[in-house]
Structure 1
Amino acid sequence: MLQPPTRRRVVAALVVYLALVARLTLWPAPAPSSTFDLVRSVLAWLSRTGIPLTYAGLEAGANVVMFVPFGVLVGLLVRRWWLVVLLGFGLSAAIELAQLFFLPTRVATVQDVVVNTLGAALGVLGLHLVRWRMARRRVPSTG
């Protein structure tokens, strides 16, 4: 049977995750232009194959995905789902404010706060669905 991770391991994973998020979001210079050329090429290829994904849509989706682990990891530490979402909102707002006030080469947006918070909510929702499903498997069915 799958054992839940220890609190110490969850905290260690959260620290590593937060360090990666800080590196990604608070580094003064954005990714090199060659990276954006690659992204544009992939988006053009997707468009030619019938998948009309825009750069803005890809960026928004990436911001959602980036905060899903936050929702899962913090959800393993905090039992209240709404607190996980609130903490995700707070972290995202702090990142965007740091970009606004201290990183002139970065662009701070309200949209990033919204989609990051959505990612945290989806992460904690996914965690609760897995917990619910595991609990149902443990309970013998009657009837």
Structure 2
Amino acid sequence: MPDITIRRATADDSKRLTRLVRGSRAYRGDYARMVDGYQVGGPYIEHHPVFVAVDEDGLVLGFYALLVDEAELDLAFVADSAQGLGIGRQLMAHMTGQARAAGLRSVRVVSHPPAEDFYLRTGAVRTGTVPHAGHIHWDRPELRYDVA
């Protein structure tokens, strides 16, 4: 496992985080429309707790965004080249710590269907299904991390 640092993202990370989202192989094929044109903008990063995992050279290996007011994990991505190295698990442990420090009792996750097993392996429990709507034409698993 690479030596990583998890730090608060800044607006300067916007382009790198956007590239990570748009380049994710998890969003190819039918799922591509979800990230087509998607941007992790500077104002978003400055407004929400967004944390990035970087290696010793500053390479972005993954990130997450926690919406504290909604008690929801909004974004979580690990670079394709870094998957399977435990970085996602470290990010979720960090996220639950941040949620706990913010006084949350639980964090909701509306998962990309292929990511559901990852969330379950990192401590989330399935709570239901969010039906398809709008430009999303598939149902999505709903999960929860208990952090209290």
- TM-score norm. by structure 1 comes to 0.30
* More contact order relative to length (CA 8 Å, sep ≥ 6): 1
Higher strand share: 2
Report the structure number with the largest CA radius of gyration: 1
Higher helix share: 1
